[in-house]
Structures are given as structure tokens and as C-alpha cells.
Amino acid sequence: MVFSSLLFVFLFFAANIITQLYIKDIKLKNMVMLGFSLVFYTWAGLRYLPLLLGMTFICWVSALLIEKSETASRRKLFLIICIFLDLLILGIFKYATFFFENLNALTGVPEVIPQIVLPIGISFYTFQLISYVVDVYRGDTQAQSKYWLLLLYASLFHQCIAGPIVRYKDISNDIMTRKVKAGEMSRGISRFAIGLAKKAVLANGCASIADSLLAAEGIQSASAQAIWLGTFVYMLQIYLDFSAYSDMAIGMGLMCGFHYKENFNYPYTADSVTDFWRRWHISLSSFFRDYVYIPLGGNRCSEKRQMFNLLTVWFLTGLWHGASWNYIIWGLYYFVFLLIEKFVWTGYDRVHPALRRLMALAVVYFGWIIFKFEDLSVLGTALKGMFCLNHNHFADASASLEFRNNIFFLLFCVIAVTPAGQYIKRIAAGFCRQRTSTLWIYGVIDAIIPVLLLLLSMMALVGNSYNPFLYFQF
């Protein structure tokens, strides 16, 4: 089941909202929410439920042992054991096949490579559980004494599958005392409607164009125009798709009394690669900052050590996204540019802001083509094709036609990835507040827009009930 399906919107989530509003007792409310979350997680089968239950149990026991330990050495031992077990399980399910494929390529063994299916959401809930145990170890939060409440935190269907990565200390109070407020319900509905429209109309539309232009089987003969345009559309798609999921998760959270932090802040308006990563997938960036980079020494050490710390973070960032060399290359690609900004081009801040934004966009643009193709031979072919090095044409009629047919749609998508909509909304709100006679008009429009977005999304989803989010694969 995915957020962008009629079944989810009109049956599953509608039933969840009704129960959360009707039930007043917080214990029963949490038990019902846990039930909904486990049904959501196991919708495609019960196969990997024991994994979620087991990893949560390991972290529940470890946190309690850490909190009760009287010596620092024992606390540290329990922390290390817990993190080791979590990462071992994640490694087996996510990276074992990748490891054996590369071992086989080098040595010829093993002859039979195990094919392990990636459990949905494992990358996200593993990091959430690790952050919980580390925060207990640091004294930033208290250990949860009830296993089922920690399981609720790990499995909350709003964000369990594809983020944002939520820290226990940020929502522990919501779990125990949450109340739904009318204003938050309204904001949650609007946020959910925006996210659903982003996914159903914009991201899915971009996916159709990008997939046709960047089809792996035709990349050898694709024109440079097709590859450049396809990469641009994929750049729009991946932001619209992933930020749509975060919008919907944050909106659903508000409707149920949970307050999740923002996961995106218009990253394509960044004026540097560093700024881009402060704005893109914020929950992942902050996780690596707080639980890897700073513990390694951060920037409170020598330049060589800082470089090593950055290398570690960006190698892990790439690897986290998938068991494939292109993701590792993608992570190291960003490491190089961050290194340049931090240590080499010391006068970068003096460059004109408009030029800095263009340079940052260029880096991000080429990063997405690395991210797109897991097959390195296809990636190499695509990169060469961008510069007509495959003996391919510079332009072709089909790519030109694709662009002309979708020019207004793509223009709207470009506007959608900027804060232009928020800017227009603020101007309209300010204008109406100064004129009491027009204030009601703004209120009516503000109430109607989510309804129109929901209707538009429903029209787009009819006959297309399964359209998974890109980050489900990670």
C-alpha cells in the first residue's frame, strides 16, 4: 500500500483519522495506531515483520540496560553491541548480495550468489532505532519502558517506509500526550493535499517523461538532447517525488497530533553544495552529522582528520542509498565538491550569488545522472552520450517533440520546486489582512485549494492505483 493510492486515501487513512479523533484514551489511541501501522507495514506480506519486531526488541532491551548500568564502560558496551547487531542485520539484508557479487567477480566464489530481497523501510527504521539508543546513551532522552510503545515509534506508518528519519526524543511527548488541534488538522490536510498532488500529478508526470528519454536499453543511440532533457526531468522528478512523501508524512502526522520536522527546504535554490545538503533530505544529513561526523571529531581537529571524517560520512551516505557502486560514486562525488568548497576554493563566498546558484545546480544536475543508473556501463554510455561521444546525434525529432508537448508542464514543475508558491501566498495573505473586506476571500480560497488538489490527484490516480515512491527502494 502506498500513500498515493485511492485505497489508502479513502479507506485506510480515513479509518485511521476517524479512530484517532474518536478515541480519547491515549493508551487505546496508541494501541490502535500501532495496529494500523503494522497492517500498513505488512500489507504486502508478513515476511519481514519479524525483522522489524526483532530489531525493535534489541534496541528496547539495549536502551534499558544502558539506562540501568552504573558504569560508563558497561553503558558503552551495551551501546556497541546494539549498534553492531543493528548494522549487521541491515548489512545482511541490504548489502550481502552486493558483497558476494563483487567477491564473485574478483575470485569466482561463491558460485551461487544469494539473492536477498530488501525489506521495505529497513534503512529508515534502522537509523531511527540507532538514534534512539544513542540518545539514551547520551542522556538526551529516557529509555522507553514499554516495548510496544517503542515499536509504535519504529513502525509509525506516516514515515516508517521512506522517512523522514524521526528521532524518538522529538516525538516521545507526542506519543504519550498528543492532542489534535483544529488549526493543526487544517494545516495537516493542506500539507497532505499538496504532497499528494505533487506525487500524483507532477512527480508521476515527470517519471513518464524521464523514463522514456533515459531508457537503459536505448541510451546508446539516444541523442544528447534526449539525455540532457531526461536528466533535467529526472532531477525534477526525484525532488517532487521524495518531498511529496515527506509532505504527506508531515501532514498526516499533524492530523494525528505528531510533529515531524521538515525534510526539505527548496534544495534547488541552494547557493553551494554545502547549502544543498542543508536543504536536501535534512533528516538523513543531520543523522550523519550528529551520529557519525561529530563523534569522529567533526571540524574540531586537523584538516587531514576533517577530510577523513567527511570521506567517511559521504562514503556511508552513498552506501546508505543502495548496494550499488553508482551510489558510492555519487556519495564520493559530493565529497570532492564539499572538499573543494571547504578547503580549496576559499574565496567561493565572494562569487556572485547568482553564479554560485548556477554552479551548485550544475553539480547537483550531474550528480543525479550518476544516481540514476545503477549499471556502470549504462552510466558511462549516458555520460558519453551527453557530449555526442557515442556517435549519437546532438538532437532528434522525438526528444524535441517531447519537450514541446510538455513545455508548460515542465515550467510548472520548475516553479513547484522553488518557494514561488509560498511567496505568492504570503503576498496575498498580507494584502487581504490590510483590507478587511477581502479577508474572507483569502479564507475561502485557502479552504478550497486543498479540495481542488485532492480532486485533481484523484483524477490522476484513477486506473493507476500503484505508483510507488522512488525512495521505497532505499
Of the residues 158, 281, 321, 391, only one is catalytic, namely 321
Respond yes or no: is residue 391 known to be catalytic: no
Residue 1 to residue 198: CA distance in whole angstroms: 18
Q: How far apart are the first and last CA of the chain?
A: 17
Residue 170 to residue 288: CA distance in whole angstroms: 17
Question: In sequence order, which ranges of 373-463 are alpha helices (DSSP H)?
Answer: 376-385, 397-405, 407-416, 420-433, 436-461
58-97 per-residue burial string, b: 16 or more CB within 10 A, e: under 16:
bbbebbbbbbebeeeeebeebbeebbeebeebbeebbbeb
Q: Can the peptide bond before residue 353 be classed as cis, meaning omega within 30 degrees of 0?
A: no
Handedness of CA 204, 205, 207, 212 (dihedral sign): positive
C-alpha cell at 368: 543525479
Residue 213 to residue 336: CA distance in whole angstroms: 29
How long a stretch of residues is the chain?
474
Among the listed residues 46, 133, 126, the one whose alpha carbon sits nearest the alpha carbon of residue 86:
126
Among the listed residues 251, 288, 52, the one whose alpha carbon sits nearest the alpha carbon of residue 154:
52
Q: Which residues are catalytic?
A: 321
